[in-house]
Amino acid sequence: MNLLRELEPVVAENLDRHLSAAKEWHPHDYVPWSRGRDFALLGGEDWRPEDSALDPVAKTAMVLNLLTEDNLPSYHREIATRFGRDGAWGQWVGRWTAEEGRHGIALRDYLTVTRGVDPVELERARMAQMTGGYDSGDKTQLGTLAYVSFQELATRVSHRNTGKATGCPLAEKLLARIATDENLHMVFYRNLMSAALELAPDEAMEAIRDEVVGFSMPGAAMADFARASITLAKAGIYDLRQHHDEVIAPVLRHWRIFERTGLGARGEAAREELAAFVADLDARATKFTERRDRARAGALAAASA
State whether residue 298 is helix, strand or coil. helix
The residue range among 59-67, 99-107, 143-151, 268-276 that interacts with Fe ion, by the rule CB under 5 A, is 99-107
Residue 77's Cβ-count burial label (10 Å; 0-12, 13-18, 19+) is: middle
Q: How many CB atoms lie within 10 A of CB 250?
A: 14
Beta carbon nearer to Fe ion, 175 or 240: 175
Q: How far is the CB of 100 from Fe ion (least distance, A)?
A: 5
Segment 133 to 152, residues that bind Fe ion, using CB under 5 A: 152
Query: Side chain identity at 274, as an amino acid letter?
Result: L
Q: Does 177 bind Fe ion (CB under 5 A)?
A: no
Q: Does 182 bind Fe ion (CB under 5 A)?
A: yes
Q: How far is the CB of 193 from Fe ion (least distance, A)?
A: 15
Interface map 53-92 toward Fe ion (x if CB under 5 A): ----------------------------------------
CA R_g for the chain: 21
Beta carbon nearer to Fe ion, 232 or 274: 232
Q: How far is the CB of 190 from Fe ion (least distance, A)?
A: 12
Please give the angle made by the CA atoms of 288, 147 and 9, to the nearest 5 degrees: 145
Q: Does 185 bind Fe ion (CB under 5 A)?
A: yes
Under rule CB under 5 A, how many of the chain's residues touch Fe ion? Answer: 5
Q: Does 239 bind Fe ion (CB under 5 A)?
A: no
The residue within the footprint of Fe ion, chosen from 103, 160, 177, 244 (CB under 5 A), is 103
Question: Using an 8 Å Cβ cutoff, are 145 and 193 in contact?
Answer: yes
Beta carbon nearer to Fe ion, 152 or 202: 152
Q: How far is the CB of 3 from Fe ion (least distance, A)?
A: 22
Q: How far is the CB of 261 from Fe ion (least distance, A)?
A: 32
HSE (CB half, 13 Å, CA atoms) of 266? 10
Q: How many CB atoms lie within 10 A of CB 201?
A: 19
**Residue in 71, 72, 57 with CA at minimum distance from that of residue 116:** 57
What DSSP letter does each residue of 121-179 carry, written as one string?
HHHHHHHHHHHH-----S--HHHHHHHHHHHHHHHHHHHHHHHHHH--HHHHHHHHHHH
Q: How far is the CB of 125 from Fe ion (least distance, A)?
A: 17
Beta carbon nearer to Fe ion, 82 or 103: 103
Alpha helices in the chain (DSSP H): 2-21, 56-70, 72-83, 87-113, 119-132, 141-166, 169-199, 201-213, 225-234, 240-242, 249-254, 265-304
Beta carbon nearer to Fe ion, 47 or 147: 147
The residue range among 28-36, 95-103, 195-203, 222-230 that interacts with Fe ion, by the rule CB under 5 A, is 95-103
Q: Does 100 bind Fe ion (CB under 5 A)?
A: yes
The contact set with Fe ion (CB under 5 A) reads 100, 103, 152, 182, 185
